[in-house]
A and B are shown apart, each in its own frame.
Chain A
Amino acid sequence: MPSEHRLDARGLPPPEPMERVLAVIHALGDGEYLRAFLPHEPLPLYPLLQQTGFDWQARGAGDSSCELFIWRRHDDQARSAVRHILDGV
């Protein structure tokens, strides 16, 4: 069963949300993904994710903040779990 790691960093100033995201994702195992709630879309984080082998998907969380999903690039199980959530399945 894929496992979700939740992180709510909406009350933190930059780059603390990014620091916390990076701390969590490097410990992700097979089938695991991070679901992070951030104060805004972390554009500078994306190049870092791309370089270090992660995929991500972002969507608005409704209050001008951002909900970000991150998983290891070749982890199909985690990817499909995120797709299910995003598609509302």
Chain B
Amino acid sequence: MSASDLRLDQAPPFTVPLRFFLTAPWFALLAAALLAWQGPEALASRWSPTTLALTHLFTLGFLAMTMLGALMQLLPVLASSPIARPKLVGGAVHGLLTLGTLALSAGFAASHPPLLRAALWLLGGGFALFIAAAGWSLWRADRANPAVWPLRLALMALLVTVVFGIIIGISRTTSAAGSASAHWTDMHLAWGFLGWVGLLVMGVAFHVVPMFQLTPAYPAWMTRRLAPLLFAALPAWSLGLLLAPQHSFFTVMANALAVVIGLGLAAFAIVTLRLQSQRRRQLPDVTLRFWQLAMTSLLACVVMGLALRFAPGNFPRLELMLGTWLIAGFASSAIHGMLYKIVPFLTWLHLHEQNVRGTLPNMKQIMPDTRTRPQLWIHGVALLLVTVAILHPGFWVYPAAATLALSYAWLGWNLSSAYAVFRRHVMEGLINPKM
């Protein structure tokens, strides 16, 4: 390869993904504050207004925020296809998502329909812009690239998730308030967690786990077949769920597909854990621990999900627990693992690109283990305390909220510190900042 083959403007400016990464932890902190403010009532059931506000502060404010920022950075790298006008698109998507998430959560918490309607416009606009920009980028990407299909499918799943979310939102804000059936909400959740989050984590893991953790490559059958299989199972499963009340055949179909999806996700988690145990450099690594926690949580979620599907009766506590472990155990832990690699790496890379004079810090100096390792433990303790709080709402809600707040504030502080290292070196040694 020669210089002429390269598009040096491919990677977005540092500020494009960074604004998403630096904002995200504060939404989780806000969720912890809301949990502490509302107390045990917040965990009454998955349908309580406060729980809906909490859920969306985490899923939109923390998960989607980091995932959209990461995709803005990863599309040029993984799919060799950058998003056009990244500063403009990134800034607009970030602004709309930030305002929309705040409006939606406040609208849920205060049961305020005008706020919810405003949120639907803001979030709908933000996601539409992102899906159009990322979709155009992935449309032009090389089909032979194995990263492209999981990303395309994840983006399509995001589109379906957003559409279901808007339909449910409209039904809540119109005269037919609260008419959205549990099935529609379940499909919104399934497309969000299994499609969008699951396929994106999978598509990214297929690349970054072998590369950053020095593991053997994922087996070819998994990288080629698993994402399309799961994606194909989702609409069929949704259809089965919708039509299940009308004919027992569809119940059987929905159950069979739930098993297929569960086994697929479990296979991904087990293969990832196995590959990580075979890594070439057996040194302790915080990001590896976060990934292991994410995969173990995913396995626990598969067990809980299948138990909920097949056990007779209602288990509202188990439903809450499944949601919590999907968000805080699986998705959030994987995102921690990604952020603690990608943020110091981008800081390091952009420092070198700035032609800063003098000795530049290495990755470990930008994000020292002494700061990330304690956060891993706090994150783990927060996860356990939230689990206890779900089982015994009451006193335990408060320590759970406090450790959640501490964990995400710590994450936010670590990420901000990396950016502070970048700013300090640029200010001290630099010539022409290309921000």
- Residues on A close to B: CB < 8 A? 11-16, 19, 22, 39-41, 43-44, 46-48, 50-52, 55, 57-58
Contacts and interface: CB of A to CB of B under 8 A. Distances in A.
B6 A46 contact: yes
Contacts of B311: none
Contact of A14 (B1, B281, B345, B352): B345
Given A11-B281, A39-B214, A22 B352 contact: yes
A15 B348 contact: yes
A47 B212 contact: no
Interface in B181-220: 211-214
Given A15-B348, A15-B349, A40 B211 contact: yes
Q: Which of A11, A13, A47, A52 has the most CB of B within 10 A?
A: A13
Which of the four size classes fits the interface of chain B? 20 to 34
A12 B279 CA distance: 11
Contacts of A58: 1
A14 B211 CA distance: 7
Given A11-B280, A13-B213, A14-B212, A48 B3 contact: no
Given A15-B349, A58-B1, A50 B6 contact: yes
A39 B211 contact: yes
Interface string B133-174: 000000000000000000000000000000000000000000
Given A11-B280, A11-B281, A47 B8 contact: yes
Contacts of B214: 11-13, 39
A51 B431 CA distance: 14
Nearest to B279: A13
A41 B2 CA distance: 13
B277 interface: no
B362 interface: yes
B11 interface: yes
A47 B281 contact: no
Nearest to A55: B3
A13 B212 contact: yes
Contacts of B2: 57
Contacts of B349: 15, 44, 48
A2 B362 CA distance: 31
A57 to B, nearest CB: 8
The 9 closest A-B CB pairs, nearest first, are A47-B8, A50-B3, A48-B352, A13-B212, A13-B214, A46-B6, A44-B349, A11-B280, A58-B1
